[in-house]
Amino acid sequence: MSKENRFHSRQYLKLRLERKDIDDDPFIQFDSWYTKVLEAEIDFPNAFVLSTVGAAGVPSSRVVLLKNYDEGGFSFYSNSLSRKGRDIIENPVASLCFWWPEFERQVKVDGEVSLLPEQEVDKYFASRPRQSRIGASVSRQSEALASRQLLEQQYEQFRSEYKGKSIERPDFWKGYIVRPLRFEFWQGRKNRLHDRFRYLPSVEGGWSISRLYP
Ligand SMILES: Cc1cc2nc3c(=O)[nH]c(=O)nc-3n(C[C@H](O)[C@H](O)[C@H](O)COP(=O)(O)O)c2cc1C
């Protein structure tokens, strides 16, 4: 069997999704699925694929961790000088994609990106373990690095320089929040007849919900 064909017969049989099961409010719907994922104690429940696209129009994706969500949006932390950070400056939009195989569920959230208030970011940075704060401070995320050894040297140098001192958040380390303009909830189903519901902002306020072909 070729590597590609091994997955042809995979079926999605665990759950189903009807219009009556989903909430009119996509934030409540997200919360309901996310709560189940947390209860199931799966690995990395908060990991999602973040896609950005800079001025050149070339998309780029990577996994990041969700730090918080509420009606204001979905937030994460990163280095603003990274590829994603630069993309967001050039074009402040992003697409988030969660995949929870244990539930055969996918959630997509597309929206506008803005920076979290500095105070909030400072507070979160200060709450992180010291080693992570040092790691974040010395990483020139997404830049070419001559060797692993250099990175470890820079870590050690920073660590000894700051011994006994507090480590402030570096200015390039930012918090981002994505304000959703579109949601999609996907439930895997038998014979590839998956259930999909899309939420778009409606003109009257609130959200308009459509079932989509799988
Ligand atoms: C499970 C997991 C969690 C990650 N969480 C973050 C995160 O929260 N923030 C971050 O900047 N990078 C995170 N990364 C690293 C990113 O995937 C990526 O390598 C890095 O941010 C550089 O991306 P860029 O060059 O596209 O900007 C994570 C990677 C994995 C696999």
DSSP string over 146-182? S-HHHHHHHHHHHHHHTTTS--PPPTTEEEEEEEEEE
pLDDT confidence of residue 2: 67
Is 195 within 8 Å of 187 (Cβ atoms)?
yes
| Residue 13 Cα to ligand 1 middle (Å) | 32
Residue nearest to atom 22 of ligand 1 (CA): 142
The residue to which tokens 């990577």 are assigned: 62
Active-site residue list: 192
The answer to whether the CB of 139 is under 6 A from ligand 1 is no
Is the pLDDT score of 8 beyond 90? no
Q: What pLDDT, in 10s, does the model give residues 137-180?
A: 999 999 999 999 999 999 999 999 999 999 999 999 999 999 99
Nearest-atom number in ligand 1 for the CA of 47 is 1
Q: Could you tell me the pLDDT band of residue 14, with boundaries at 50, 70 and 90?
A: very high
Task: Calculate what percentage of the chain has a pLDDT beyond 70.
Answer: 99
Nearest-atom number in ligand 1 for the CA of 86 is 27
Residue 88's closest CA among 129, 142, 51, 45? 51
The Cα–Cα gap between 141 and 87 comes to 14
| Residue 62 Cα to ligand 1 middle (Å) | 6
Segments making up each domain of the chain, as ranges: 9-125+171-211
The answer to whether the CB of 95 is under 6 A from ligand 1 is no
Which CATH number is associated with domain 9-125+171-211? 2.30.110.10
| Residue 152 Cα to ligand 1 middle (Å) | 19
The answer to whether the CB of 141 is under 6 A from ligand 1 is yes
Give the contacts of 81 (CB within 8 A, at least 6 positions apart). Answer: 140, 141, 142, 143, 172
Residue nearest to atom 14 of ligand 1 (CA): 64
Q: What pLDDT, in 10s, does the model give residues 182-204?
A: 999 999 999 999 999 999 999 99
The answer to whether the CB of 13 is under 6 A from ligand 1 is no
What global pTM score does this model have?
0.96
Is the pLDDT score of 7 beyond 90? no
